[in-house]
Structure 1
Amino acid sequence: MIRIHFSADDFTRVRFAARPSPLPELHAALMTLAAPHEELLPGRWRTRLARTMPTAVEPLADLVPGGVAPAFLDVLGDTPDEGFALIRAAAPTTVRAGLEQVYAGRRFVPPWIRALHAGDADAWRTLGRAQRAAHEAVLAPVWPQVQDLHRNEFARHALAVAEGGLGAALTRLAPGSRLRDGVWEWPRPDTAGIREIRLAGRGLVLRPTFHWRYGPLVQDLPDRPVALACPVASGPPLLLAGPGAPDEALAGVLGRTRLALLHALDEPRTTTGLARRIGVSAATASAHASALRGAGLVTTTRTGRSVHHTRTALAELLLLGGGADGRCAPDGP
């Protein structure tokens, strides 16, 4: 079981990551790929990676001899380059401690791992090449889908907080979990013992992960917000649909013209401006805006002779989200 202790301040410092971080998602994918007897992992995904994985990736296996990566690899960052830079900037003591922990009790340590432990520049270059090669093979081909899925989860969380409050939103992220007396308890039947995490005013960052199925991944580093990666039930992206899939689904519900109108309202526009933007007559634009206003997706204000249309917060969430239910999956394979 994981027990996360909140102070009063921590409840005001819970946030849902606005965008996915490439490095944690990459490491989740690599851990899943290495997991034995992964029945839930679609064979097509594994086959594609086995066919495209370059040999430059092989040193990464040496970093997880027991299936757990050293903590200095667990960084955030909005881009791969930012994540790689954060790893390279890790304090030497942190790097050594992480390597010593994962190799504790093991007789054989690969020479390049020994060199990395000593801070050797060539060893760092080996690590950098391996991670960049892994990113290009594993994550880059599906990154647009990961971004779409993340926006979907962001929208779901925002609605859950608005409808039921933070407590309900947290327990919805992890079916079977509960929040009581300031402690969020997350059962983990596959893990012996209890892990106690005290936020102590640092706050909590929530982020979905789409390549991992075995319960939460927790980053708990001194003087930083605790980061909790929650597995999403939909599993790893499989390139089954193109980048336009969410829009295609919305177009099927709203119609293409009304969807185009919502997209055009990235700023308030007049009826004439909308008509010009989406290539229809003013009368058609006005009729569609009226229908969307009735559905709570558009507001219209009049100032003198001018009429301006604005999309609502509900429309913003609709454009962010779309797709199937993607709550976090329970622990266990």
Structure 2
Amino acid sequence: MLRVHFTSGDFARVRFAPRPSPVAELHAALMMMGAPHEELLFGRWRGRLLRALPRTAEPLADLVPGGTAPRFLDVLGETREEGLARVRAARPECVRSELERVYGAGRRPVPPWIRALHAGSPDAWRVWERAQRAAYETVLAPVWSRVQDLHRAEFARHALVVAEQGLGAALAALAPGFREGVWEWPGTALREVHLAGRGLVLLPTFHWRGGPLLQDLPDRPVVLAYPAGGALPLTGAGGAVGDAGAVGDGHEEALAGVLGRTRAALLRTLTEPRTTTELARCLGVSNATASAHAQALRAAGLLTTTRTGRSVRHAVTPLGALLTSSGS
């Protein structure tokens, strides 16, 4: 069981990652490729990607000799370049100690390039970076737009729960065991994590199907990556591998599934401030219906309403703009 301990200050430092992290999502996908479970649904996906991976990506397997990755790879970053730069910025002593930990103090043979990485060789870092880029292009690039769509929908879902019911309800929706400042995730190995004022970042991952993945580094917010994908792996076509069916139809469908079609359409209509009458006309509904939907979106922090005399105008908030954006 994972037990996350909160201080009073940590509750003000809980946030949901507003965008997916390419490096973290890639690592989740690579871990799923090496996981033995759910072979019936994920076997074809694993086989296809393992056959497609170029030889330049093979060194990544050397970093997880026993199924455990070194912690200096645990980074966020809203772009691939930012994530790679954060890994490269890891303290040399951290890189050395983590490589020693995963290789078990000499219990496994150490590949030459790992020895060079342990020594801080720039050439070894270039080997790692080439491997990361090759793996990203094969595994993640074909489905990245789909990951972004799913992340927006997941972010919207939690934003609505927090706005309407509070943070406790949002945490309980992920794992119900939250009481007396301790959040418990059952079904995982026993681990005690003390936030100690660092705060918590919640990051959905759409490839990993196991328990939560924890990034717990000194002097940084703890990052908990939780499985949020469907039961089937992603493909670049926006569906699932094999013949088992699709997991969704893109950003518009994902957002409509969370907000409802009329409310999602209302948000997209607000490319500029509009009155209730204008919204009703655009949506093909009555003024009363448009007003009710606007009120619900306003309560969730997705739009604002200002009154001038007898007229009211609605405008999208930054959060609403984020959810309706189709940018990369």
Which band: TM-score by shorter chain? 0.7 to 0.9
Letter in 1 for 2:272: E
Alpha-carbon distance, 1:157 to partner: 1.3
Decide whether aligned partners of structure 1 residues 317 and 123 sit closer, same or farther in structure 2, where only a CA change above 3 A counts: closer
Decide whether aligned partners of structure 1 residues 317 and 143 sit closer, same or farther in structure 2, where only a CA change above 3 A counts: closer
Asked if residue 232 in structure 1 is aligned to residue 232 in structure 2, the reply is: no
Q: Which residue of 195, 211, 235 corresponds with 2:191?
A: 195
Preserved contact between residue 297 and residue 314 of structure 1 (Cα < 8 Å): no
Decide whether aligned partners of structure 1 residues 307 and 148 sit closer, same or farther in structure 2, where only a CA change above 3 A counts: same
Decide whether aligned partners of structure 1 residues 227 and 109 sit closer, same or farther in structure 2, where only a CA change above 3 A counts: same
Other-structure match for 2:242: none
Preserved contact between residue 296 and residue 312 of structure 1 (Cα < 8 Å): no
TM-score (norm 1): 0.80
Larger Rg: 1 or 2? 1
Whole-angstrom CA distance in 1 between matches of 2:114 and 2:251: 43
Decide whether aligned partners of structure 1 residues 139 and 291 sit closer, same or farther in structure 2, where only a CA change above 3 A counts: farther
Unaligned runs of 5+ in 2: 240-247, 296-303
Other-structure match for 1:15: 15
Whole-angstrom CA distance in 1 between matches of 2:289 and 2:55: 53
Letter in 2 for 1:52: A
Q: Which residue of 208, 215, 232 corresponds with 1:212?
A: 208
Whole-angstrom CA distance in 2 between matches of 1:300 and 1:109: 62
Letter in 2 for 1:99: L
Alpha-carbon distance, 1:187 to partner: 1.6
Q: Deviation per CA, 1:108-142: give whole Å up to 9, x if none.
A: 10011001100111111100000011111111111
Secondary structure of 1:151's match?
helix
Letter in 1 for 2:64: V
Whole-angstrom CA distance in 2 between matches of 1:202 and 1:34: 31
Asked if residue 185 in structure 1 is aligned to residue 184 in structure 2, the reply is: yes
Whole-angstrom CA distance in 1 between matches of 2:14 and 2:174: 13
Alpha-carbon distance, 1:40 to partner: 5.7
Whole-angstrom CA distance in 2 between matches of 1:244 and 1:226: 32
Other-structure match for 2:73: 73
Other-structure match for 2:39: 39
Moved more, 136-145 or 49-58: 49-58
Alpha-carbon distance, 1:102 to partner: 0.3
Whole-angstrom CA distance in 2 between matches of 1:86 and 1:135: 16
Q: Deviation per CA, 1:56-87: give whole Å up to 9, x if none.
A: 10000000000111000111011000011111
Whole-angstrom CA distance in 2 between matches of 1:145 and 1:315: 19
TM-score (norm 2): 0.81
Whole-angstrom CA distance in 1 between matches of 2:17 and 2:208: 17
Other-structure match for 1:330: none
Alignment coverage as a number of residue pairs: 305
Asked if residue 245 in structure 1 is aligned to residue 250 in structure 2, the reply is: yes
Whole-angstrom CA distance in 2 between matches of 1:307 and 1:168: 32
Asked if residue 142 in structure 1 is aligned to residue 139 in structure 2, the reply is: no
Other-structure match for 2:301: none
Preserved contact between residue 155 and residue 317 of structure 1 (Cα < 8 Å): no
Letter in 2 for 1:207: L
Alpha-carbon distance, 1:295 to partner: 4.2
Other-structure match for 2:299: none
Other-structure match for 2:48: 48
Secondary structure of 2:3's match?
strand
Letter in 2 for 1:138: V
Secondary structure of 2:134's match?
helix
Other-structure match for 1:88: 88
Alpha-carbon distance, 1:45 to partner: 2.5
Alpha-carbon distance, 1:309 to partner: 4.4
Preserved contact between residue 270 and residue 307 of structure 1 (Cα < 8 Å): yes
Q: Which residue of 286, 289, 293 corresponds with 2:290?
A: 293
Preserved contact between residue 142 and residue 235 of structure 2 (Cα < 8 Å): no
Q: Deviation per CA, 1:265-303: give whole Å up to 9, x if none.
A: 13303699x79xxxxxxx954854737514413787664
Secondary structure of 1:297's match?
helix
